[in-house]
Amino acid sequence: MIRKTLIAGNWKMNGLLEDGIALAKGVAQEVKKAGRKDCEFLICPPFTLLSSAKKAIKGTKLMLGAQDCHYAEKGAHTGDISAKMLQDIGCQYVIVGHSERRTNHYESNELIKQKAEAAINTGLKVIICIGETEAEKDAGKTIAVCSAQIEGSVPEISNGQNTVIAYEPVWAIGTGRTPTTAEVEEVHAAIRKVVAKKLGRANANKMRILYGGSMKPSNAKELLALPDVDGGLIGGASLKVADFMAIGEASKQ
Ligand code: PEP
């Protein structure tokens, strides 16, 4: 198998200490029980839970990631967290360019690229999020928008190992709506082509492209069975151990 499935949970701004630790422990225990060799599991809790989540998942293969980082290593950046800090407390991954950050924090492709570059140079793996708005979809611009986001926010140092792309249609996030499987496959295949043009065919073949946006146990199987879908970035359904693990189970071919 050229690409190992990745099931990643984006907890967003959810979880206080007690329930966050319980969720991390619950997922870790189930990942251990599942003993999957064909699939990796990752949780991305908020910054405040990373340290305790790290302890809670110790001794299991469940991986830890953060939801954002700053591009600088340290310095006068009040309220920010560097990739080095994330690595220091045991993160292996960081999400950058989530649409909620692109929208709510006005993050540009250029800034996202700087963050991704810093994370990779630090030794973290990055999940770079892209995706069109509903208006862009309606205007038939999905592939053009995603291509421009890849061009602008994926750094040249990205490769099949250090970078994961998450295709998340903005209109599908948290709405219960998803594109058809044909639409998802069309966009994922197009993304792989753009990556091949930018980073070479070998990197494109190795790079995992996740689908995100209202993925849940009831629709995961058909989405994860698509040839260019290599896993999921899961928001709401990652907050329940049973749902998150059921999505993992649905990835079994
Ligand atoms: C996300 O925001 O990354 C996401 C996919 O959210 P949800 O699964 O809740 O749509």
Mean pLDDT of all residues in 212-220? 98
Q: What mean pLDDT do residues 97-125 have?
A: 98
By residue count, the chain amounts to 253
Chain centroid to CA 159: 16
Q: Per-residue pLDDT for 253 more than 80?
A: no
CA of 72 to the centre of ligand 1 (A): 27
Centroid of ligand 1 to alpha carbon of 98 (angstroms): 10
- pTM score over 0.95: yes
Going by alpha carbons, the residue nearest to atom 4 of ligand 1 is 235
Residue 1 pLDDT greater than 80, yes or no: no
Return all residues near 51 (Cβ < 8 A) that are at least 6 apart.
89
Condensed to tens digits (0 to 9), the pLDDT of residues 12-47 reads 999 999 999 999 999 999 999 999 999 999 999 999
Residue minimizing CA distance to atom 3 of ligand 1 = 235
Amino acid identity, position 231:
G
**d(CA 170, ligand 1 centre) in Å:** 9
User: Is pLDDT at 59 greater than 70 in this prediction?
Assistant: yes
d(CA 148, CA 127): 17
**C-alpha–C-alpha distance, residues 70 and 225, integer Å:** 35
Active site residue 188: no
- pLDDT digit string (tens) for 165-186? 999 999 999 999 999 999 999 9
Top mutation candidate among 173, 219, 239, 247 for ligand 1, by most atoms within 8 Å of CB: 173
73, pLDDT greater than 90 = yes
pLDDT per position as a tens digit, 194-204 = 999 999 999 99
In this structure, are residues 24 and 49 in contact, taking their beta carbons and an 8 Å threshold? yes
**Which atom of ligand 1 is least distant from the CA of 95?**
3
Give the SS3 label for residue 81.
coil
- Residue 30 known to be catalytic: no
pLDDT for residue 40: 98
Atom nearest to 100 CA in ligand 1: 2
